[in-house]
Amino acid sequence: MIKDLVRPELQKLVPYVSHQIPYRIKLDANESPFELPASISKRLEDYLKNGPGLNIYPDNESTELRKTLAKYWNVDSDEIVVGTGSNQLIQLIITVFVGNGEKVVYPWPTFSMYKINTLIAGGVPVEVPLDKDRDFLFAVDEFIDTVNRERAKVVFLCNPNNPTGGMISLEDIERIVKECSNSIIVVDEAYAEFCTQSAVSFVKKYENLVVLRTFSKAYLLAGARCGYSISGPEIANEINKIRPTYNVSSLTQLIAKMVFEEQKEMQDKILYLIEQRGNLEDSLRKIKDVYIYPSFANYILIKVPEAGIISKELEKRGILIRDFSNDPILHDCIRISVGTKEQNDIFLKEFSDIINSFL
Ligand code: PMP
């Protein structure tokens, strides 16, 4: 009975489940391996003791956090919208622009939420395949043709791309924004700190561009749920019209601002993870029968002989990684987040041990 009342386009969806299993090392969700610096935990405690209290609603506009972000990015505060994770902004942008039967175009494979939120809105997802045989090569001309032919309302470019790790050049991004001027182009830069390239500087020039950033990866705060968009003021205003009131908690606003102000420490952690990524890639290349796709993010996609079995075996040994064995395209792949040197060494030891047992 309930099912019959549900909108037809939603009946086939299944809830997103994040398995809560005990682990020794968690390398499955591209989180940061670092905990909050002690100085910030201390200031948080002070806030809980002496701040306005959680009985009071947060600042609906996340004013102080937006000011800090605007200064860093050299944009105006009214060009930034803060959400409970960039996930919320993905959903809000689709809700603003995509109606029944309207198209959303993105390369495939990519972050699954673009598709899910398009379906929720009653829109039509259009996937442009990346070439798996050529390290998931992105063909920009074909992509631009598809966007314009399909009259896409919204385009998503995940850059670097999750889960493949590849990157689209700024030159190609600018071409897409310019040549697809009837579409909203969303560049999701959830992992951009690890490739040191960003499309934010184009925002002043192109009114159809939105860049999404998150605190969940390089800024240690996946558990606090905080992300933001940078766009021209017109798009920001449209998002604000439908943004749920008080969407970002006062604790999250405070903690995100504090973490962001610790730029030196954050940049050191980013550089450390980029170095660890290089070391991991070097070690993985030496293991027989595995192939690694080039990565510009804090994770590596690895082609392996038996993705499902290897993932299960790693899980038994307390190591969580992302298993793609049920995916039609990535069925022979696993994805691992880059951890600390100690975590990566344990992973490498167990992983080579399991691979050797296949040979
Ligand atoms: N974009 C991409 C590409 C992601 O991989 C993720 C998280 N896995 C998100 C957005 C969402 O991040 P959050 O909601 O935690 O900001």
User: ipTM, 2 decimals?
Assistant: 0.99
Nearest atom in ligand 1 to 227's CA = 16
Whether 32 is covered by a domain: the verdict is yes
**Ligand 1 centroid, distance to 37 Cα (angstroms):** 22
**Ligand 1 centroid, distance to 188 Cα (angstroms):** 8
pLDDT tens sequence across 257-290:
999 999 999 999 999 999 999 999 999 999 999 9
State the pLDDT at residue 249. Answer: 97
**Ligand 1 centroid, distance to 92 Cα (angstroms):** 14
State the pLDDT at residue 295. Answer: 98
Copy the structure tokens of residue 255.
């903690």
Secondary structure (H, E, C), the chain: CHHHHCCHHHCCCCCCCCCCCCCCEECCCCCCCCCCCHHHHHHHHHHHHHCCCCCCCCCCCCHHHHHHHHHHHCCCHHHEEEECCHHHHHHHHHHHHCCCCCEEEEEECCCCHHHHHHHHCCCEEEEEECEHHHCCECCHHHHHHHHHHCCCCEEEEECCCCCCCCCCCHHHHHHHHHHCCCCEEEEECCCHHHCCCCCHHHCCCCCCEEEEEECCCCCCCCCCCCEEEEECHHHHHHHHHHCCCCCCCHHHHHHHHHHHHCHHHHHHHHHHHHHHHHHHHHHHHCCCCCEECCCCCCEEEEECCCHHHHHHHHHHCCEECEECCCCCCCCCEEEEECCCHHHHHHHHHHHHHHHHHHC
**Ligand 1 centroid, distance to 4 Cα (angstroms):** 32
**Ligand 1 centroid, distance to 31 Cα (angstroms):** 10
Residues 244, 272, single domain; the answer is no
Whether 7 is covered by a domain: the verdict is no
pTM of the model: 0.97
State the Cα–Cα distance between residues 242 and 225, nearest whole angstrom: 19
Nearest atom in ligand 1 to 30's CA = 8
Range of the domain at 192: 38-261
CB-based pocket (< 6 A), ligand 1:
30, 85-87, 111, 158, 162, 188, 190, 214, 216, 222, 227
pLDDT > 80? residue 359: no
Copy the structure tokens of residue 226.
């905080």
User: For ligand 1, atom 8, which residue shows the shortest CA distance?
Assistant: 29
Q: ω before 305 within 30° of 0 (cis)?
A: no
Query: For the domain that residue 297 is a member of, what is the CATH number?
Result: 3.90.1150.10
Q: Report, in angstroms and rounded to the nearest whole number, the Rg of the chain calculated over CA atoms.
A: 21
**Ligand 1 centroid, distance to 357 Cα (angstroms):** 35
Residues 224, 310, single domain; the answer is no
Q: Which of 213, 230, 261 is the last residue of a domain?
A: 261
Whether 8 is covered by a domain: the verdict is no
Among 216, 217, 322, which residue has the most ligand 1 atoms within 8 Å of its CB, making it the best to mutate? 216
Nearest atom in ligand 1 to 216's CA = 15
**Smallest Cα–Cα separation from 247: which of 268, 278, 232, 225?**
225
Residues 198, 177, single domain; the answer is yes
For 7-21, what is the mean pLDDT? 86
Q: How many domains does the chain have?
A: 2
Nearest atom in ligand 1 to 29's CA = 8
For 313-321, what is the mean pLDDT? 97
State the Cα–Cα distance between residues 291 and 59, nearest whole angstrom: 48
Residues 247, 153, single domain; the answer is yes
pLDDT tens sequence across 38-59:
999 999 999 999 988 899 999 9
Residues 21, 76, single domain; the answer is no
**Ligand 1 centroid, distance to 85 Cα (angstroms):** 7
Residues 243, 279, single domain; the answer is no
Residues 291, 339, single domain; the answer is yes
Residues 63, 161, single domain; the answer is yes
Residues 177, 293, single domain; the answer is no
Nearest atom in ligand 1 to 217's CA = 15
State the pLDDT at residue 18. Answer: 81
pLDDT tens sequence across 114-153:
999 999 999 999 999 999 999 999 999 999 999 999 999 9
Q: Are the CB atoms for 245 and 59 separated by under 8 Å? A: no
User: For ligand 1, atom 2, which residue shows the shortest CA distance?
Assistant: 190
Q: Which of 235, 261, 287 is the last residue of a domain?
A: 261
